């Protein structure tokens, strides 16, 4: 079972940049999408259906903002929209698909780059998200939490850790949270297989950052420890260029 996470930075813009053709060639089983920036009726569902995908989406109330989706060739047993928390659900940040005893989540963690208010919102979200997930584990212990976490874990995950030490996404309290989250029972599947530096999933549009590989690794496929024996490989697909992010692939035995 091949699962991708991909912040497309606007599903319609990504489609205009060849996302559908790339999807057909890559042929993953499940794609967890973040930042659809679209209402459900604006997502090209029929185009994805022609490629064999069922589309499930959870949009923000605010048009052109946030939003998550799951494209899947395998019909899920159940789809859960949101976390039952209006503060976050109105921003369209969480959708879950259940396949037998496996659950796959597409999650879009808030960014704190726009100022202190959103940074505080982000930190509150992180606490609430962790609590929600650990309650969810009691009924759905085999979890893959795929998404844009908007946090680099370690200095190896960012091109300039010294200059970015006070930047949202690499703040000590954010790094402490993601470290604790992993230690509480989750595997950073990319690092499980790959310890090489200069592996990133997001690049600024400024200063030719992508051409120069001045990036951040902020997109993850986190897997619960119960799935460790089923992990087969994990790869960053940096050649896909439909967004300022790129997809991250996880293959598991199903």
What does each C-alpha distance from 105 to 18, 98, 199, 240 come to in angstroms? 25, 9, 23, 22
Low-confidence ranges of the chain (pLDDT < 70): none
Instruction: Report the distance separating Cα 5 and Cα 33, nearest Å.
Output: 6
Instruction: Report the distance separating Cα 83 and Cα 68, nearest Å.
Output: 13
What H or E segment, with its residue span, contains residue 105? Answer: strand 102-108
Measured CA angle at 251 (ends 187, 249), to 5 deg:
80
User: Can you give the residue ranges of every domain in the chain?
Assistant: 2-252
SS3 55: strand
Give the pLDDT of residue 254: 82
Instruction: With beta carbons less than 8 A apart as the criterion, state whether 83 and 89 touch.
Output: yes
> Both tokens of residue 199?
């592996």
Give the pLDDT of residue 37: 98
| Active site amino acids | 148
Q: Which residues contact 58 (CB under 8 A, 6 or more apart)?
A: 67, 68, 69, 81, 82, 89, 92, 93, 94, 95
> Domain 2-252 is of which CATH architecture?
4-Layer Sandwich (3.60)
Ramachandran angles phi, psi of 2, nearest 5°: -105, 125
């Amino acid at each position: 079972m091949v699962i991708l996470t991909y912040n497309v930075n606007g599903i319609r813009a990504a489609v205009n940049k060849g996302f559908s053709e790339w999807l057909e060639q890559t042929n993953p089983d499940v794609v967890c999408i973040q930042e659809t920036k679209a209402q459900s009726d604006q997502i090209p569902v029929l185009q994805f259906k022609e490629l064999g995908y069922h589309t499930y989406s959870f949009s923000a109330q605010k048009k052109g903002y946030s939003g998550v989706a799951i494209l899947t060739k395998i019909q899920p047993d159940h789809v859960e929209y949101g976390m039952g928390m209006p503060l976050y659900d109105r921003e369209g940040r969480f959708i879950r698909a259940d396949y037998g005893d496996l659950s796959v989540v597409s999650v879009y963690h808030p960014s704190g780059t726009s100022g202190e208010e959103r940074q505080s919102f982000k930190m509150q979200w992180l606490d609430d998200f962790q609590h929600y997930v650990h309650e969810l584990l009691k009924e759905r212990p085999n979890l893959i939490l795929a998404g844009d976490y908007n946090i680099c874990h370690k200095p190896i995950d960012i091109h300039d850790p010294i200059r970015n030490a006070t930047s949202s996404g690499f703040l000590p309290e954010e790094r402490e949270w993601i470290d604790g989250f992993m230690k509480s029972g989750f595997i950073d599947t990319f690092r499980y297989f790959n310890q090489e530096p200069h592996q990133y999933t997001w690049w600024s549009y400024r200063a030719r950052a992508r051409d120069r590989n001045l990036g951040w690794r902020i997109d993850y496929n986190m897997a619960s420890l119960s799935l460790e024996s089923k992990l087969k490989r994990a790869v960053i697909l940096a050649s896909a260029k439909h967004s300022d992010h790129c997809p991250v692939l996880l293959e598991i035995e199903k």
